[in-house]
């Protein structure tokens, strides 16, 4: 899963005005991948390119206990919650951020081959939808579009920024699916992933600054009437 990880971020931003900023939620949604590619650059977690690993990509994610185990993801979520709690002094905001971080593991569980663990070790999990491209593509696009439309419905503001965000997400997803596949796991691959996450979060920051939750609009209108 790639852009589908950002679907929970859009849903959370739409569902509650106490949710963190959209850019913060975008970081949360991919936080364990931020961690994985950062750790991979220094050899702590590991991947390799093995053609045929799955039908949709050749990435063999064979050692990632600190980010893509359930316990590892929980630690990242708790750390993110702590930072939000210190910054915002709002437990609801912090909990939403933590849940978005945790959503990553469960979404990956749907598409990964068995390479996710509960706490490291030899027993691994994954439903392997990447071996069924039609299903995986439909799922990724379906949850992304549904979350995007929900976000539009529940927020108000200029329409162009969110559509630019969606266009960017679709472009990087198309490159991921249909572009040249990597031939080796190297620093360039890791950095390109981190850059794509950063650009998505940067555009999400712009979108979040231009749109307001519908409840905020109602409160503002009531304040003007008084």
Mean pLDDT value across the chain:
93
Q: How many residues does the chain have?
A: 226
Distance CA 125, CA 69 (A): 10
Q: Are 130 and 55 a contacting pair, CB within 8 Å?
A: yes
Pairing of β 59-63 and β 46-49:
antiparallel
**Cα 4–chain centre separation:** 7
Distance CA 175, CA 137 (A): 13
Q: Are 39 and 75 a contacting pair, CB within 8 Å?
A: no
pLDDT digits (tens, 9 = 90+) for 77-129: 999 999 999 999 999 999 999 999 999 999 999 999 999 999 998 899 999 99
What is this structure's pTM? 0.93
């Amino acid at each position: 899963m790639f852009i589908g990880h950002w679907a929970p971020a859009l849903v959370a931003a739409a569902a509650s005005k106490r949710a963190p900023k959209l850019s913060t939620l975008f970081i949360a949604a991919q936080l364990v991948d931020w961690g994985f590619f950062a750790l991979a650059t220094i050899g702590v977690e590991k991947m390799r390119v093995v053609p045929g690993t799955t039908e949709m990509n050749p990435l063999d994610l064979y050692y990632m206990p600190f980010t893509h185990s359930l316990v590892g993801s929980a630690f990242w979520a708790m750390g993110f919650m702590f930072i939000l709690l210190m910054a915002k002094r709002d437990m609801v905001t912090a909990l939403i951020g933590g849940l978005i971080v945790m959503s990553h593991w469960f979404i990956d569980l749907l598409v990964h081959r068995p390479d996710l663990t509960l706490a490291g070790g030899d027993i691994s999990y994954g439903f392997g939808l990447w071996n069924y491209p039609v299903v995986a593509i439909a799922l990724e696009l379906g949850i992304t579009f549904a979350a995007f439309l929900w976000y539009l419905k529940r927020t108000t503001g200029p329409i162009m920024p969110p559509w630019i965000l969606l266009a960017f997400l679709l472009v990087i997803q198309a490159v991921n699916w249909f572009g040249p596949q990597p031939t080796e796991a190297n620093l360039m691959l890791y950095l390109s992933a981190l850059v794509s996450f950063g650009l998505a979060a940067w555009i999400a920051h712009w979108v979040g600054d231009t749109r307001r939750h519908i409840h905020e609009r109602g409160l503002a209108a009531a304040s003007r009437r008084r």
